[in-house]
Amino acid sequence: MAREMKKMVVVCGIVLLLNLWCKAQADPQVPCYFIFGDSLVDNGNNNQLQSLARANYPPYGIDFQGGPTGRFSNGKTAVDVIAELLGFDDYIPPYVSARGRDILKGVNYASAAAGIREETGRQLGSRISFSGQVKNYQNTVSQVVNLLGDQNTTADYLSKCIYSLGMGSNDYLNNYFMPLYYNTGSQYTPQQYADVLIQAYTQQIRLLYQYGARKVVLFGLGQIGCSPNELAQNSPDGSTCVQRINSAIQIFNNKLKSLVNTLNSNSNARFIYIDSYGVSQDVINNPSSYGFKVTNAGCCGVGRNNGQITCLPYQTPCQNRNEYLFWDAFHPTEAGNIIIGRRAYSAQSASDAYPIDINRLAQL
């Protein structure tokens, strides 16, 4: 009897190990994941550019397995989290280094300081605007056609992939609300500016559609008026968010959500909207329920709110990084990115994703 039991335990153990191995080897939910955006999701595309918007130095990446990679955080970005949840066994490579068959699982085109408008972020040096990122994607599609053999096979393959777009933050931070370098703030009302942005955004989105994008995630903008940099410059008490900035952001977000309806009714693609603003508002209003103690200052930075100057090379950051929502003057910690990534993938509240979340989009 004891021998039989022993046998059963061994067999059960082998079955369990096989199950775990099979799970580890399982295919991702979608064959590929293409990412467009700015410094919130850039993972190295700016490293070789003549730009102030770079993060390929310590202490950036202090909690990331590969150290400083060009990610503007202490660890993972929101799209890294989403890639994990989609079942990819590695992170999506940056365009600058994606080679050969690697591109078949997707490419990250994001570039720090980039915007929807061409001039956005120019005071920081070189960057790849949204239209530039779309051109790079078109180049990738040509390579995919060569790898898969023909256009029909490629179109079928790309139609199953997830496309993640998160543009617009810099069009406000490094354009509209920077009168020293740009005249858009005096040229347009917030309403007009949001219209101009959405119009330009839509043109490039249609190009992506023409080049195979059928499952598209549009990330709304977060509460930029609550970032340590804006609090340092414009908040009387260092904790009250800057309302004029957040109001302008909300106008853009509302138009972006409406755009989802328009695009869904006029194409055979599926577009969804992620309410980054609502998620960040929830975290700032209820920090302790997410394990945060500090939501108004960067873990690494200089001056008021650690937000007047962003994290400097080799600066010593805070130790309790999981208790900070912001890593530097502008960007979330890995802990903050995990929340937005998880809620984008699997909506925690009805307003997180519209009309469905990424998990359900992947299954269509």
Catalytic residue among 171, 282, 328, 357: 328
Catalytic residue among 38, 73, 276, 331: 331
Q: Is 357 a catalytic residue?
A: no
Per-residue 3-state assignment (H helix, E strand, C coil) for the chain: CHHHHHHHHHHHHHHHHHHHHHHHHCCCCCCCEEEEECCCCCCCCCCCCCECCCCCCCCCCCCCCCCCCCCCCCCCCHHHHHHHHHCCCCCCCECCCCCHHHHHHCCECCCCCCCCCCCCCHHHECCCCHHHHHHHHHHHHHHHHHHHCCHHHHHHHHCCCEEEEECCHHHHHHHHCCCCCCCHHHHCCHHHHHHHHHHHHHHHHHHHHHCCCCEEEEECCCCHHHCHHHHHHHCCCCCCCCHHHHHHHHHHHHHHHHHHHHHHHCCCCEEEEECHHHHHHHHHHCHHHHCCCEEEEECCEECHHHCCEECCCCCCCCCCHHHEEECCCCCECHHHHHHHHHHHHCCCCCCCEECCCHHHHHHC
Catalytic residue among 39, 169, 227, 276: 39
Q: Is 195 a catalytic residue?
A: no
Q: Is 328 a catalytic residue?
A: yes
Residues involved in catalysis: 39, 328, 331
